[in-house]
Structure 1
Amino acid sequence: MSVEEYSRYTLLSGSNSSSWSLDKRTVILISVLTFPVFMFCITYMTLLGVYEKVVYPIRNLEEIRQQNVHRALAYNTFGDETNTSYSFYLNSKRYSADIGEFKLVCYYNFPSRPDSLQTEDIDPFLCTHINVGFVEVVNNSIFLSADKQALLKELVKLKTFNAKLKILLSVGGAGGATGFSEMVINHANRKSFIQSVINYVKDYHIDGIDLDWEFPNEDPGNDKYQKMHFTQLLEEMRTCVQRQPKYAFLVSVAVAATSNIISNSYDVSYMNSYVDYINLMAYDYHYYTKYTPFTGINSPLYASESEKYYLGTLNTNYSANYWHFLGMDKSKIIVGLPTYAHTFTLTNFRNNGLYAPASGFGKLGSLGFAGYPQICQFLSTNQISPIFDMESKSPYAVKLSEWVSFEDAESLTYKTEYIRDNKFGGAMVYCLNSDDYKGICKANGKTGIRFPLTNVVKQILMDNDGSG
């Protein structure tokens, strides 16, 4: 090899070595920069895939879902709106009795599993009234299985700690209205039912009955006077209480919040004379169905400016005042507040506000229902800051295609203060089972507070006894 050829070879070899060194440094630099991104993607996909339960915590809400689905569907089936009044004088001067003391009525669903809320875990001083349910109407009488009878006895023992606590049996529920239509159809059947109520009052030392028929006259069948027959049942129960003061009992009714169902199911002015109070189910206003494929607030306090006509009636303020306008004393209207959430799957996660298109229920919970502990874990794990809608006084949260409407301390403060300041009879909570009864959520920066949502309502109501 000549000197000239050797020089050329050396020059080329050096050039290749330098080029390789440059490529190696580039590869290392790119690797260092992209490794964290790569690991983040792997971790994120793992969480969403293999460990989806971490991001979307699963909890069986059978006790809540069974009772709510029918009502949610009924509320979101608008039906014939031709006879619906969209506006009325909200500040009606209609007579209303003094409140005396606010009620805090809490629904408690019989536990279906060992990890469900048990009777011994209920604070006897949390609520003024506990409606335990749900029981059925069988052969024109209250039917309660042996297991539920035992649980009822345990629940009544809470009265030994708080003598002022009232325990009522709730009959029916959104998923258990069978038996009502046959029972109310004539006087003899209604008399049998009332006698069964008296028997439970005597034998189990309960304080009353809550009629949760969802809903009278929804499917009247052969009974075209079903709405009237339900009113007659209430009248006959009131007569029974007056004639047998020794076995007097409270009579409450869980009632619908939407105007179309109210007009179809209830003779409000007559009911006012016969019931001790009503429990207004002011929730499930917005729920995913094929007829309502969009997001919405579960329990808005007020309508937004964009909500017109019938949509403008789907809120607590309208419902509560509508019942009063039709003849129910404010002191007898117990306004319902939910502890559970509604979930939706967004059609396009970039379009994620109120009334955004939805393609189905969310992954959280079951059939669009999720308990408050699930919501806490969902928000915490995903580091989500909820959006608070000041028009409806309610929060909602978004994670990619998951859209959730829920209640928190701020929203319940607004709603309970509304109940107090407008001098309604009190608040109803549905239900204790979907509140954080184990105290796993963070409240005021710490965990361990049991029933945090119900306690917010209690603090506001009980600090103001309504006498002022």
Structure 2
Amino acid sequence: MTESETVFSEKKKIIGYVAGWKGVDTARIHAEKLTHINYAFANVIEGLVTEGEGRLEQDRENMKKLHSLKSKNPDLKILISIGGWTWSKGFSDAVLTEESRKKFTNSAINYLIRHDLDGLDFDWEYPGMEGDGNIFRVEDRENFVLMLKSVREALDSLQEVTGKYYLNTIASAGFKKYLEVNDLGAAQNYLDFINIMTYDFVGPGTDTTAHHTNLFNPKEGGRSAAQAVYDHVEAGVPIEKLVMGLAFYGKSWKNVEDENNGLYQPGEWNRTFPFLQLKELESQKEFERFWDDESQAPFLWNRLDRVFISYEDPESIAAKVKFIKENKLGGAMFWEYNEDSEDRDLLNAIFENMYNP
């Protein structure tokens, strides 16, 4: 790394995922408050990293718009996120053999060159276990590491040609089974950092209300962002390589029992809300905001309509950023940029708390 790259790597990261299918409006992106943008997503089709079906022109135009943000922030890094919940079905086959991994790696490098990117972010959901109906194998454990090694070596070879350092990162799951079926201790050797998806702890199929992106959890064995970090460290990942995920959306239940202001009560799964809408709900008299001090998480409760909402707000973000700084994590990432309020309340909360003295 050059001296400037070393300085940049030491700066706490603020990584925003941008959903390509929503388009890119550069006027709404505060590039000076981000260190990285992960553009979502590229697909894996027939063993190759490629633009999604019918997306080539849209992705090309979106990438150009993202690159233009470097005029506001020359240090901004732009990566492609490969996979995601829906598009992770091709990974296991793509990395099954040495020959297929070479083919896959070359396609990833070609994608990076084609769009003049600063790195690759692999969002395989999940190696060694089921996500959205993806093929998975026991061999994924070893092949995931071999894939990352192959990509790292190819990026280093490209650096010898261009003189530029390229990032290799992943999005990892915020639950322990993912760490049990994978070898993150070996994988991290080929990664610059790991974005932990410390959200969606509950959701569709959960018939009891709870926090979905809480920092702590007082319940024995309960899931939390902090526990996910501790589990990754126990799995062999240096804590400075870990980036904590934040949710720019909330999850709701309906027909909730009227006890404990709706928290930890039986209810029916309802839907997700972007923070943009949640900010409006906060101002409605039917909804009352509560703060769970043990979990360091807010929630909204509508007693009249019996609707409970778990979400992220500036106060919970401040608590998480404090945890990130005190424990010397690499930084914070969030899904997804367009779901923030018009005033960018959540991004501002990350930025102001991250860089305050």
Whether the 8 Å CA contact 1:330–1:423 is kept in 2: the answer is yes
Whether the 8 Å CA contact 1:120–1:155 is kept in 2: the answer is no
In the alignment, which residue of structure 2 is the partner of 1:8?
Answer: none
In the alignment, which residue of structure 1 is the partner of 2:177?
Answer: 260
Alignment partner of 1:339 out of 235, 238, 248 = 248
In the alignment, which residue of structure 2 is the partner of 1:453?
Answer: 346
Aligned-partner Cα distance in 1 for 2:194–2:157: 22
Aligned-partner Cα distance in 1 for 2:135–2:332: 34
After superposition, where does 1:34-113 map in structure 2 within 5 Å? 100-112=10-22
In the alignment, which residue of structure 2 is the partner of 1:382?
Answer: 285
1:403 offset after TM fit, Å?
0.3
In the alignment, which residue of structure 1 is the partner of 2:214?
Answer: 300
Whether the 8 Å CA contact 2:17–2:40 is kept in 1: the answer is yes
**3-state SS of the aligned residue for 1:271?**
helix
Whether the 8 Å CA contact 2:248–2:340 is kept in 1: the answer is yes
1:119 offset after TM fit, Å?
3.8
Whether the 8 Å CA contact 2:259–2:265 is kept in 1: the answer is no
1:324 offset after TM fit, Å?
1.0
Distance 1:222 1:258, change over 3 A: closer
Alignment partner of 1:285 out of 198, 201, 219 = 201
After superposition, where does 1:49-448 map in structure 2 within 5 Å? 100-112=10-22, 118-144=25-51, 145=55, 146-219=57-130, 223-245=137-159, 246-247=161-162, 248-264=165-181, 266-289=182-205, 292-304=206-218, 307-308=219-220, 310=221, 312=222, 314-350=223-259, 352-361=261-270, 368-382=271-285, 384-399=287-302, 400=304, 401-436=306-341, 439=342
Extract unaligned runs of 5+ from structure 2: 1-7
Aligned-partner Cα distance in 2 for 1:117–1:384: 32
Whether the 8 Å CA contact 1:99–1:331 is kept in 2: the answer is no
**3-state SS of the aligned residue for 1:244?**
helix
Cα RMSD after superposing both structures:
2.0
User: Which has the larger strand fraction?
Assistant: 2
1:350 offset after TM fit, Å?
4.9
Aligned-partner Cα distance in 1 for 2:71–2:115: 14
**3-state SS of the aligned residue for 1:125?**
helix
Tell me which of the two structures has the higher relative contact order, counting C-alpha pairs closer than 8 angstroms and 6 or more residues apart.
1
Whether the 8 Å CA contact 1:99–1:423 is kept in 2: the answer is no
Distance 1:241 1:143, change over 3 A: closer
**3-state SS of the aligned residue for 2:114?**
helix
Aligned-partner Cα distance in 2 for 1:166–1:237: 18
Aligned-partner Cα distance in 1 for 2:269–2:105: 43
Distance 1:134 1:221, change over 3 A: closer
Aligned-partner Cα distance in 2 for 1:351–1:139: 51
Q: Show CA shifts across 1:183-217 (max 9, x none).
A: 11112222122222222332322101110011111
Whether the 8 Å CA contact 2:256–2:262 is kept in 1: the answer is no
Identity of aligned residues (%): 28
Q: Which amino acid aligns with 1:377?
A: E
Return the TM-score normalized by structure 2.
Answer: 0.89
Q: Which amino acid aligns with 1:381?
A: Q
Q: Which amino acid aligns with 1:250?
A: L
Q: Which amino acid aligns with 1:293?
A: D
Q: Show CA shifts across 1:382-415 (max 9, x none).
A: 3533110000011111113110011111111111
Distance 1:432 1:158, change over 3 A: same
Q: Show CA shifts across 1:141-173 (max 9, x none).
A: 221122222211221221233210000000111
**3-state SS of the aligned residue for 2:32?**
coil
Aligned-partner Cα distance in 1 for 2:18–2:275: 15
**3-state SS of the aligned residue for 2:10?**
coil
**3-state SS of the aligned residue for 2:40?**
strand
Aligned-partner Cα distance in 2 for 1:126–1:414: 19
Aligned-partner Cα distance in 2 for 1:215–1:194: 18
Aligned-partner Cα distance in 2 for 1:384–1:160: 42
1:430 offset after TM fit, Å?
1.2
Q: Which amino acid aligns with 1:459?
A: E
Distance 1:281 1:221, change over 3 A: closer
Q: Which amino acid aligns with 1:345?
A: K
